[in-house]
Structure 1
């Protein structure tokens, strides 16, 4: 390990300061949510209780996504893979004292996972590297509750390695979920043990550590005992398994006695992720992406990416309004949040849902129908959000045949819902009033409309109408509120017209429309 320290700087994580020292490596200067290097402008803008409604609106119009957030939004459809000891015990929330030998996926084939996800149209997949039980799907140096303690593959199995290799082989980006809650570490006296934050060196080398003596980048960060445990596991995952494009956290606490809790060291965790995986989106208990507020995969009718947030006090941010609130970013919501919010932030929504009733595999459960999945797609991707669909591997280590078939049918269904864009190559004209007119050249039937703003310029559209010229007169065929990165409208009946137009009737700043697509479904 190189001992020379070449830098010592301060990470600002949502107003909580964490001192970070790095040995044998460069330290990225970052603010929570910003890219490595100088923070990107206008990702998060401070507000206060004295801001007028007009000032709040003007600030909201200036908020912009980071490049990382733009890349994440373009994924549209991502996959979750809940897999672990729960797969074999039948539980949804494990106990932490499972016999590791229960984990026996003797037919594990992560290439099969990757092929099914590719054929289903997924661009990124997230593996439950550690769920709330604390069982780890790779041979970690920091716990015995892992695949290394199972007789599966003679204790040499590594699901994370296989998963990462297979996803990249089939062109799918890699994401990891590492549960903050950890029942096993609670039983071991580490989680929620009341320890105070103190300076820790990460990684913390253990007896016989194969990394000792190497040119190892190390961090000095403030953390509790459990916070350091998480930092050490993050370090393993982010340095030994290739590029990671999403790190997924939730905010769950372990099922521990009342009066005990672990205050998570979000600031230090984010700092290490930003340094070791600067391209990675941190979701949904993270600065880049938020939880939509339900596990049904459904966004709000008008889903804003610019919303008011508040500090949690330990390096993270949270909804200023309750996460169940049906309105998070309108003019009324901005005004309502003034007394509790500290910032307006670009914090887009991720919609998580499982293809089956449970998150882990259960033999008596069946996947959702194609109609159900299509409805979820229109109410997530079609409402300015990214869909995170869970497909749980079974006890053999395979995605069930019924689920694989359903994923392919799902992709084919969306392809039929939105076939070729009739407006592609059509004559388009824009005016200074926020109106775009498309001339298809001949009358065409349309029953699906897809819209998008160029979110590099923020989210500006508050109200719009779509009209068709029918019988020589402009006739409204649809209207709605927000657009954002993606808005898909389903017309109750097809409308035949040659000329179509989008009129933005209320906006914050000049709208930048990047897509006005017209489709005739083949459903």
Structure 2
């Protein structure tokens, strides 16, 4: 009977956690409250950062996420039975399908963790070839296992057969390739006896949770001190009532972390204000440096973002973060899917971060290897439309996605028109006038002409760009449009030969 009760409790905990995870994200525009309230624990520095570190973040375009830990040994299943959880959540597997004494089995998997094929330099070279400009690595997921030799717990890489510091190898290898490294850190820690989900009530519970808060602080400063080349933290597991109630502590912790590592970048899910508001405070202001709620989703409209910095983190299988042995049960995204999501992200001023889940031996999934190569082949010719670009203030195009850099406009074409005429719509009030067009990859000039549609009271002007009929591309391609500063003069445009 006791075992059944425990199993039910574990299932309820998993369901509750999944609900909380969905609640921390959003899918539509966020309206600010009509009246502002006084806050003591709102954003540390309201408004967009203008420093060089934050500008570098804005210009990344493409990133890589890596979920790796002892859960990679299981690969989403055990003894041929697939777990009904995300692979990195497999420790909470319970019910009739769970192996006997599963949590005890899982908690001893670290004794088998010996990724003999792991090569941090190889991973970094692959990421660079793919075109990634930053990488996020799970230093510690919810199970509490640390990929660095933390002195504050025995549940670390130092106690495995492998022994060597994985975080250091990755920070060094990726930094050497010119790729910035961010450290994922889970506040949830199932291995720590002082961790709790509910708000502490009794003095004993408060004393225990305070020990956990101190433990968390110690580990975060340990990561900053051990790996000074890191650029920021990517926090997870901050939805528990216990953490939400510790807003005074977490407010001070953010201040201290930033003071210890100038330029540190922290997303919006780290902490909340005194009213429990997460990501955005009670006044609707961003908590942190960028929106961190676009997890496996993308905004439908640029206006939803209210000018905030943001990134999208995306899986290849529908919800596969950690290693999954068998991909056949899922639809797995193609390079076409992922390039489309990449360009949608950067067209709205965000970054796109693709997740990889290596296996227990340190090998990427063969499907990930294939996608990395295909994306890299595309980026080799088209990255100019991805790196350092901004949102273009134009109506969305039916052909693809606009990005902009200075006086240059890029249109990444996914939907080629049957008449080979790409028509771009420019507001009459625009201050940038198209002067010429070319194919980005080949630099082939394209014919462009002003087109008078003749619609009464039309507030736009139109330019038709001709794609050569003999130009064949199996992939999305980029049209580069040069512009000059000035005012739209339709009479002059009618005379022009472009």
Report the TM-score range of the alignment, normalised by the length of the smaller protein: 0.5 to 0.7
Residue 214 of structure 2 aligns to a residue whose secondary structure is helix
Structure 2 residue matching 1:92: 3-state secondary structure: helix
Q: Secondary structure at the match of 2:333?
A: coil
Query: What's the counterpart of residue 183 of structure 1?
Result: 190
Task: Tell me the residue number matched to 1:379.
Answer: 344
CA contact (8 A) 1:137 1:160 kept: yes
Residue 198 of structure 2 corresponds to residue 237 of structure 1: no
Cα pair 2:200 2:242 within 8 Å, conserved: no
Q: Does 1:266 align with 2:250?
A: yes
Determine the C-alpha separation between the residues in 2 that align with 1:50 and 1:284. Answer: 22
Distance in 2 of aligned mates of 1:438 and 1:88: 55
2:65 pairs with 1:80:
yes
**Aligned with 1:80: secondary structure?**
strand
Equivalents in 1 of 2:255, 2:89: separation in Å? 29
- 8 Å CA contact 1:304–1:348 kept in 2: the answer is no
In the other structure, the counterpart of 1:126 is 136
Partner of 1:359: 321
Give distance in 2, aligned partners of 1:175 and 1:419.
24
Query: How many residues end up aligned between the 2 structures?
Result: 339
5+ residue gaps, structure 1 = 1-46, 52-61, 199-222, 307-345, 448-466, 479-491, 505-523
Alpha-carbon offset, residue 411 of structure 1:
2.8
Report the equivalent of 2:299: 299
Aligned with 1:389: secondary structure? strand
Partner secondary structure for residue 224 of structure 1? helix
Task: Name the structure 2 match of 1:113.
Answer: 123
Structure-2 change in CA distance of 1:263 and 1:468 (3 Å): farther
Q: 1:476 to 1:194 in 2, by over 3 A?
A: same
Deviation of the 1:224 alpha carbon: 2.5
Greater share of strand: 1
Shift of 1:412: 2.4
CA distance in 2, matches of 1:260, 1:173: 32
- CA drift of 1:190 comes to 3.8
2:283 alignment partner in structure 1: none
Indicate the residue corresponding to 1:282 in structure 2.
Answer: 266
Preserved CA contact (<8 Å) 2:238 2:269: no
Partners of 1:70 and 1:145 in 2: CA distance: 37
State the secondary structure of the residue aligned to 2:137: strand
> Do the aligned residues in 1 keep the contact of 2:434 with 2:481 (CA within 8 Å)?
no
Partner of 2:362: helix, strand, or coil? coil
Contact 1:245-1:281 at 8 Å conserved across structures: yes
Partner of 2:431: 435
Deviation of residue 290 (structure 1)? 1.4
- Do the aligned residues in 1 keep the contact of 2:199 with 2:245 (CA within 8 Å)? no
Summarize the alignment of residues 119-518 of structure 1 with structure 2, pairs less than 5 Å apart: 119-150=129-160, 152-153=161-162, 156-185=163-192, 188-192=193-197, 224-253=210-239, 263-264=245-246, 265-286=249-270, 287-296=288-297, 298-303=298-303, 305-306=305-306, 347-357=308-318, 358-365=320-327, 368-416=333-381, 433-440=429-436, 469-470=450-451, 475-476=461-462
Aligned residue in 2 for 1:218: none
State the distance in 2 between where 1:300 and 1:225 align: 43
Q: State the Cα deviation string for residues 457-477 of structure 1 (Å, max 9, x = none).
A: xxxxxxxxxx96136987436
| In 1, Cα distance between equivalents of 2:478 and 2:351 | 27
TM-score between both structures, scaled by the size of structure 2: 0.58
Query: In the aligned structure 2, how far is the partner of 1:304 from the partner of 1:293?
Result: 12
> Is residue 407–residue 483 contact of structure 2 (8 Å, CA) maintained in 1?
no
**Corresponding residue for residue 43 of structure 2:** none
Q: Partner of 2:414 in structure 1? A: none
- Give the 3-state SS of the residue equivalent to 1:274 in structure 2: helix
- When the two chains are superposed, the root-mean-square deviation of aligned CA atoms in Å is 4.3
How far apart in 2 are the matches of 1:245 and 1:129? Answer: 14
- Taking structure 1 as the reference length, the TM-score comes to 0.56
> In structure 2, do the counterparts of structure 1 residues 197 and 388 end up closer, same or farther at CA, with 3 Å as the change threshold?
farther
- Taking the aligned partners of 1:493 and 1:384, their CA distance within structure 2 comes to 20
**5+ long unaligned stretches in structure 2:** 1-31, 37-45, 77-86, 92-102, 204-208, 271-287, 386-402, 410-425, 442-447, 455-459, 465-475, 489-498
Q: Structure 1 residue 493: deviation in Å?
A: 12
More helix by share: 2
* CA-CA distance at 1:499 after TM superposition: 8.1
Change (3 A) 1:181 1:354: same
Deviations 1:59-100 (A, max 9, x none): xxx954332432211111111100001111233214375112
**2:397 matched residue in structure 1:** none
- Assess, with a 3 A threshold, how the Cα gap between structure 1 residues 365 and 196 changes in structure 2: closer, same or farther: same
